[in-house]
């Protein structure tokens, strides 16, 4: 296929708007032809929008004690409560909190922690990966050895360790507020290695290309070349990893919260909700566990599938 020339963009697009251009692109075309990608994107979008606009959508504010009625506790889904006659879509928990609303608010925390952790890991990983790849020598050796060592510990273990240390040094009264941030740092720190590895690999390829030589030639400094020239060219694999990491980070957050070292019960994430819910699993109140768990599954699965598709779509060798 050496001889084939790809269709020229200008012939296809003319001078239409940027949006039209994007919709015409090969990327958009591939996306439309992949049903799995379309469905997972739709599910992700619905869940993210639900979390984002939780205060507008949720019928109740689960964190407002004034709106809670203990009499509503343990309402079954779609069934009027025996005492108050109130009906809840997905039922209520032991304290009478609407499960649907707690899921929406819980997802907010899950997504916030997941996204922030990935962002943190991404910034750290990209910086260290670029440095290791571009500078080389001892810088590279040290960064990559640290990464290797980090990889030998399971990430949950690393997260728990950091969580434990943070818990030890924060005063009790701040612990609940700190918990979220500690979670983000803990998950982010256990996740930067793969970003660093991928960025370093891509940087090693890019830095030997002649456009980098051209930039060095005119006296551009190392940081300028790394940020302005190399960084934009190593971002596509980063995007793929970031998407898959987001799914993993949400699960990690849920795991930590489930184990009781994560989000506090006053600010429950999906993981916390599942932990609370499992107490009632065998007493017949299945919905308190089931709906948060199903939401977590749907969220993680669709984000992960989206990442998988993105990896295939951005990898020219698979096309």
Partner 1 sequence: MKQTHIMTTPILSIRNLTVDIPTRHGVLRPVNGVSYDVAAGEILGVVGESGAGKSMAGNAVIGLLNPPAHIASGEILLNGQRIDTLPRDEMRRLRGKQIGVVFQDPLTSLNPLLRIGDQLTETMLAHLDISPSEARKRAIAALEEVGIPGAAQRVDSYPHEFSGGMRQRVVIALALCAEPSLIIADEPTTALDVSVQAQIIALLKRLCRERGTAVMLITHDMGVIAEAADRVAVMYAGQLAEIGPVREVLAAPIHPYTDGLMGSTPLASRGKDRLHQIPGAMPRLDALPPGCAFHPRCPYTQDDCRADPGPRIEDGAGRAACFHPISRTEVA
Partner 2 sequence: MALVSIRNLTRIFDVSKPWLNRLIERKPKALLTAVSDVSFEIEERTVYALVGESGSGKSTIGKMLVGLLPPSEGHVEIRGIDLAQETDADKIESIRSDIQMIFQDPYASLNPRWRVRDIIAEPVAARGGKTEGLAERLLEQVGLSARDAGKFPHEFSGGQRQRICIARALASEPKLIVCDEPTSALDVSVQAQVLNLMSDLKDEFGLTYLFISHDLTVVQHMADRIGVLYLGRLVEEADPDTLFDHPAHPYTQMLLAAAPKLDGFGREVPPPQGEIPDPINPPPGCAFNPRCPLAAERCRTERPTLRDVRGARVACHFAG
Nearest of 46, 42, 45, 17 to residue 32 by alpha carbon: 42
Q: At what angle do helices 99-135 and 175-189 cross, to 10 degrees?
A: 40
| Candidates 8-16, 75-83, 91-99, 310-318; binding stretch for partner 2 (CB under 8 A) | 8-16
12 binds, among partner 1, partner 2, none (CB under 5 to 8 A by kind): partner 1
Which residue number, 108 or 207, has a Cβ lying nearer to partner 2? 207
Which residue number, 20 or 165, has a Cβ lying nearer to partner 1? 20
Shortest Å, Cβ 64 to partner 2: 48
Nearest of 212, 215, 192, 216 to residue 204 by alpha carbon: 212
* Residue 316 found at the interface with partner 1 (CB under 8 A): no
* Residue 213 found at the interface with partner 2 (CB under 8 A): yes
Shortest Å, Cβ 1 to partner 1: 5
| Candidates 76-84, 208-216, 262-270, 293-301; binding stretch for partner 2 (CB under 8 A) | 208-216
Residues 133, 201: Cα–Cα separation, whole Å:
7
* Residue 232 found at the interface with partner 2 (CB under 8 A): yes
* Residue 76 found at the interface with partner 2 (CB under 8 A): no
Beta strand residue intervals within 22-167, DSSP E: none
* Residue 7 found at the interface with partner 1 (CB under 8 A): yes
Determine the longest span between alpha carbons in the chain, in angstroms: 80
Shortest Å, Cβ 147 to partner 2: 18
* Residue 318 found at the interface with partner 1 (CB under 8 A): no
Shortest Å, Cβ 3 to partner 1: 5
Site pattern 73..92 for partner 1 (x: CB under 8 A): --------------------
Tracing tokens 């994430």 back to the chain, one arrives at: 269
| Candidates 3-11, 64-72, 108-116, 125-133; binding stretch for partner 1 (CB under 8 A) | 3-11
Question: Per DSSP, what are the bridge partners of residue 80?
Answer: 87
DSSP per position, 130-199: HHHHHH-HHHHHHHHHHHHHHHHS-HHHHHHHHHHHHHHHS-GGGHHHHHHHHHHHHHHHTTHHHHHHHH
Task: List the structure tokens of 107.
Answer: 């997802």
Question: How many angstroms separate the Cα of 10 from the Cα of each of 26, 32, 189, 316?
Answer: 13, 22, 44, 21
Site pattern 29..48 for partner 1 (x: CB under 8 A): x-------------------
> Other CB atoms closer than 10 Å to residue 168's CB: what's the count?
7
Footprint of partner 2 on this chain (CB under 8 A)? 8-10, 209-211, 213-220, 224, 229, 232-233
Q: Which stretches of the chain bind partner 1, using CB under 8 A? A: 1-5, 7-8, 11-12, 29
């Amino acid at each position: 296929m050496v001889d084939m020339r790809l269709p020229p963009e200008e012939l296809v697009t003319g001078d239409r708007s940027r949006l039209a251009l994007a919709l015409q692109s090969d990327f958009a075309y591939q996306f439309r032809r992949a049903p799995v990608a379309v469905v997972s994107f739709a599910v992700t979008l619905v869940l993210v929008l639900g979390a984002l606009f939780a205060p507008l959508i949720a019928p109740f504010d689960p964190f407002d004690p004034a709106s809670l009625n203990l009499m509503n506790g343990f309402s079954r889904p779609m069934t009027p409560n025996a005492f108050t006659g109130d009906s809840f879509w997905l039922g209520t928990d032991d304290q009478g909190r609407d499960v649907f609303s707690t899921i929406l608010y819980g997802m907010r925390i899950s997504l916030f922690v997941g996204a922030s952790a990935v962002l943190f890991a991404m910034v750290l990983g990209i910086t260290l990966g670029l440095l290791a790849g571009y500078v080389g020598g001892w810088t590279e050796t040290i960064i990559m050895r640290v990464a290797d060592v980090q990889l030998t510990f399971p990430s949950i273990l690393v997260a728990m360790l950091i969580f434990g240390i943070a818990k030890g040094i924060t005063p009790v009264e701040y612990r609940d507020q700190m918990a979220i941030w500690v979670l983000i740092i803990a998950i982010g720190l256990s996740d930067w290695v793969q970003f660093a590895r991928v960025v370093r690999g891509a940087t090693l390829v890019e830095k030997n290309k002649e456009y980098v030589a051209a930039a060095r030639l005119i006296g551009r400094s190392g940081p300028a070349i790394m940020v302005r020239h190399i960084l934009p060219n190593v971002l596509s694999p980063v995007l793929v990893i970031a998407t898959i990491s987001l799914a993993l980070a949400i699960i990690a957050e849920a795991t930590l919260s489930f184990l009781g070292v994560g989000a506090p019960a006053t600010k429950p994430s999906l993981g916390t909700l599942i932990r609370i819910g499992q107490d009632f699993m065998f007493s017949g109140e299945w919905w308190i566990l089931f709906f948060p768990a199903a939401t977590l599954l749907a969220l993680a699965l669709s984000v992960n599938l989206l990442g998988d598709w993105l990896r295939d779509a951005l990898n020219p060798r698979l096309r």
